[in-house]
Amino acid sequence: MGQAIITIAELLGIAILVGWWLWQWKLVKGTKGWPSAEATIESGAIEEVARARGAVVNLPTFAFSYQVAGEYYSGRISLLPYITDPNEGLMARMIGHKLQIRYDPRHPQVWFVTDKLIEGCKVEQKIGPHLVGFYPKD
């Protein structure tokens, strides 16, 4: 009986994880119809974005701004080492960097960075099918 309860709990946990992942994937797919805008990275710093199994995860995190219909909006992304490790020059190189975003036309403050990689690092943001989300804290 106890083993059956554990198995049901495990299956429920897997179902919830798969459901969440599919919901995030659908959100990303839905952004394909959103208009795009050019954003500019304004600032950056190494920030704690998560704690994983007791270890602190610090990543380069950047603030950017973009304009829609004369109004300015902003967002933040983190870069997770993927192809290359971020080096000390990354912070300086990224200031002023242009990137494409898509924004929700009904809510322009809701955005999605279309690049999957920047400077050899994976873009971490609050929308997307990330099993481990290392995006910046608000």
What confidence tens digit (pLDDT) does each residue in 63-79 have? 999 999 999 999 999 99
Banded model confidence at residue 6, pLDDT cuts 50, 70, 90: confident
Non-local CB neighbours of 111 within 8 Å, separated by 6+ positions: 39, 66, 73, 75, 101, 102, 103, 104
Identity at 13, one-letter amino acid code: G
Report the C-alpha dihedral over residues 116, 120, 125, 128, rounded to 10 degrees: 40
| pTM of this structure | 0.75
- List the beta bridge partners of residue 111: 103
Which listed CATH number (3.30.70, 2.20.28, 2.40.50, 3.30.559) goes with 1-138? 2.40.50
Question: Which tens digit of pLDDT belongs to each residue from 70-117?
Answer: 999 999 999 988 766 666 788 888 999 999 999 999 999 989 898 888
Measure the CA–CA gap between 7 and 90, rounded to whole angstroms.
46
pLDDT of 2: 65
